[in-house]
């Protein structure tokens, strides 16, 4: 958390707030968040006088495209951005502050301090880690059931584990894998390579539609997620299995079960998913 729908929502709301603003200075209060360059002073200098031209998303990453550089940001578990006036009191767990020439500040807050930030020369961001090994975007025309079939034919992993691998398709995490598998009526412990062509077509459709519906509703506010304007998502109201252990399945009434697959808590309906 956050997964693709949440990051896409943050991208859209932040774009309305900060695109066109120029960075006058940067304050790094927790150095471990800055991964590239490894010198925080250099990080601050690279962003000096840079105007944010566009905010893009790649998988679960936010890309702040400026005049000469691109900042790649991962929110991890509980990272969030918010726009404040410079005289507003700092909230707890504020670790990076981007000061703008107009007096506003974009503040990055992160209770667990797991978030990361990398800076690359503009145009080179896709060639290095963390973006270089990412798989296809689920909303792209190139992402098809055939892509899933090709990827799964080479693995003996369970389908839940295979879908969490960002090298195949990006943006899926624990919530939306569980939800997509429920919609596709596929048990999370099935071997990925054992799925039939028909099942893969259904799964592909379930992945795309689940993510799109979540984007349309602003993501799922599980724990602390809010968008760039501090608003909660609404998709959690439509979750069929995730977080619903021992509750009745909306389709058949059977109790939702929670197990561990690949080290991740996994929810499914033992009647609907085979």
Active-site annotation holds for 3: yes
183 is in an annotated binding site: no
Name which of 143, 141, 173, 29 is nearest 91 in CA terms: 29
Active site residue 2: yes
Q: What are phi and psi of 183, to 5 degrees?
A: -65, -30
Identify the active-site residue in 29, 189, 264, 270: 264
Of 2, 5, 130, 188, the catalytic one is 2
> Does 53 participate in catalysis according to the annotation?
no
- Annotation says 54 is catalytic: no
Q: Which residue has the tokens 């499914």?
A: 268
Burial class (CB in 10 A: 0-12, 13-18, 19+), 108: buried
Catalytic residue among 11, 57, 60, 244: 60
Which residues share a beta bridge with 74? Answer: 61, 116
Three-state secondary-structure class, residue 203: helix
Q: Is 12 annotated as a binding residue?
A: no
Measured CA distances, 265 to 3, 66, 149, 192, 257 (Å)? 16, 38, 25, 18, 10
> Could you tell me which residues are annotated as the binding site for DNA?
93, 112
Catalytic (active-site) positions: 2-3, 60, 264
């Amino acid at each position: 958390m956050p997964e693709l729908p949440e990051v896409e929502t943050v991208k859209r709301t932040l774009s309305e707030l900060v695109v066109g603003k120029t960075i006058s200075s940067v304050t790094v209060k927790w150095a471990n968040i800055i991964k590239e360059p490894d010198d925080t002073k250099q990080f601050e200098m690279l962003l000096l006088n840079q105007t944010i031209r566009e905010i893009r998303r790649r998988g679960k990453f936010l890309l702040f495209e400026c005049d000469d550089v691109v900042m790649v940001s991962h929110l991890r578990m509980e990272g969030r951005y918010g726009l404040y006036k410079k005289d507003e009191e700092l909230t707890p767990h504020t670790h990076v502050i981007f000061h703008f020439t107009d007096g506003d500040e974009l503040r990055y807050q992160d209770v667990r301090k797991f978030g990361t930030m990398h800076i690359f020369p503009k145009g080179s961001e896709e060639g290095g880690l963390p973006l270089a090994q990412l798989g296809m975007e689920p909303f792209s025309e190139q992402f098809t059931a055939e892509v899933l079939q090709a990827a799964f034919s080479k693995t003996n992993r369970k389908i839940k584990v295979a879908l969490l691998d960002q090298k195949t398709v990006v943006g899926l995490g624990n919530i939306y894998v569980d939800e997509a598998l429920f919609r596709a009526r596929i048990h999370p412990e099935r071997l990925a390579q054992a799925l039939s062509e028909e099942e893969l077509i259904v799964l592909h459709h379930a992945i795309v539609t689940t993510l799109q519906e979540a984007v349309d509703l602003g993501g799922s506010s599980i724990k602390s997620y809010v968008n760039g304007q501090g608003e909660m998502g609404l998709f959690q109201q439509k979750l069929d299995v995730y977080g619903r252990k021992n509750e009745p399945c909306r389709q058949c009434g059977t109790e939702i079960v929670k197990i561990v697959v690949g080290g991740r808590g996994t929810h499914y309906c033992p009647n609907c998913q085979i």
